[in-house]
Amino acid sequence: MKIEKYIVSESVNIRSAIKQMDKCGIGFIAISDDKENIIGIVTDGDFRRSILKGIQLKECVEKITNRDFIFLGENYTYEDVDAILSSSDANHIPVLEDGKLLEIITDENNFGINKTKRTQMLDNPVVIMAGGMGTRLDPFTRILPKPLIPIGHDPIIKVIMDEFGSYGMKQYFLTINEKGRMIKAYFYDHDLDYDIKFIEEDKPLGTAGSLKLMSETISETFFVSNCDIIIKCDYSKILNFHQERQNAITMVGSMRHHIVPYGVCEIENGGDLTAIIEKPEYDYLTNTGLYIIEPKALELIPENIRFDMTDLIVKTQKSGLRVGVFPVSEKSWIDIGQSKDYNLAISDFNKYPRKKI
């Protein structure tokens, strides 16, 4: 482990710190002072809470640094580690000597301690929208339906199911339309340890219209995922957020950073230049295509007409029900929705080991 990559200076901004956290891939970074002593830590949970509080990513990471953190000395024992992981919410334990970072203990790779004993297992149903045309992945989808596009050794739809399955979820509803017979054939030829039901559209019903077909089948909180995205996040945390806020719909949003590669002109009075901002930078939350939905929201979907998820969200809000957003970092969202992103998505996916149960 090259320990230096897990350390960032307290003087950098939140955006830079989170980018480094994404590169490290464990949802944790240590924060150092100008003498390279560790003064605190930042986790993916700290990042999420800062976004929900409206803190700007251009602000200094020191603003969201947890200075009251748990750590161990270099002569720690198994019992020390087990006591901390069993009695606290800590997922990472820095090991320090004279203020310097020696090691990071994680709850899934040290002493054989199994993270799953501390991870909340779920049994919620999962709906995967597998009926789209896949036009953004042309020409791949001229031959294969989008859900069967491979990621590694498996089609994307199985990768998505395995990600949910690693948190205990076994019941899947697959909405199919375009090339639906090929999708069925894949599952008939592969004996997977999942309960799979196919929901067939007679005509394209949009990203939410097909959910109406399940209004008498699903009676509990359920997940909905597009079939071209993978979210690398603890799904139990998303569900807890959804339930604590009593949302009818929770959308998972990925923080994106964009730099306009030009000077942006600001004008007034019909054309008077007031300022030129060179290459401005913007941060924004993007809809990833992963949702948690309460069955009562299905009552708002009209029958047998095209109805998109954005339509359902607007109608849900107008009805007085709550819609929330659960933020994740940029690298937590793996998207293969466009052919130009396909190889990049494969590379990103391979950086994250498959969670084992």
Neighbours of 306 (CB within 10 A): 14
For residue 342, the model assigns a pLDDT of: 62
Statement: residue 339 has pLDDT above 60: no
Tell me if 3-114 shares its fold with 126-351.
no
For residue 168, the model assigns a pLDDT of: 95
4-31 pLDDT per residue, tens: 999 999 999 999 999 999 888 888 999 9
Which one is the CATH code of 3-114: 3.40.50.150, 3.60.15.10, 3.40.190.10, 3.10.580.10?
3.10.580.10
Is residue 297 a contact partner of residue 208, using CB atoms and an 8 Å limit? no
Regarding predicted confidence, which is higher, 211 or 115? 211
Of the given ranges (52-61, 63-72, 168-177, 201-210), which has the lowest mean pLDDT? 201-210
Distances (CA, A) of 3 to 101, 103, 209: 7, 7, 49
- Out of 105-109, 179-183, 279-283, 290-294, the most confident range is 290-294
For residue 351, the model assigns a pLDDT of: 55
Statement: residue 133 has pLDDT above 70: no
285-294 pLDDT per residue, tens: 999 999 999 9
Indicate the domain borders of the chain. 3-114, 126-351
Distances (CA, A) of 168 to 109, 234, 235: 20, 12, 10
DSSP state of 57: T
Angle at 166 between CA 165 and CA 168, to 5 degrees: 60
Beta strands at 272-278 and 263-268: parallel, antiparallel or unpaired = antiparallel
State phi, psi for 272 to the nearest 5 degrees.
-75, 125
Average pLDDT over residues 142-150: 79
Distances (CA, A) of 71 to 111, 346, 353: 16, 35, 25
What is the third-level CATH fold of 126-351?
A: Spore Coat Polysaccharide Biosynthesis Protein SpsA; Chain A (3.90.550)
Tell how far CA 4 is from the center of its chain: 26
Statement: residue 353 has pLDDT above 60: no
* Mean pLDDT score of the chain: 87
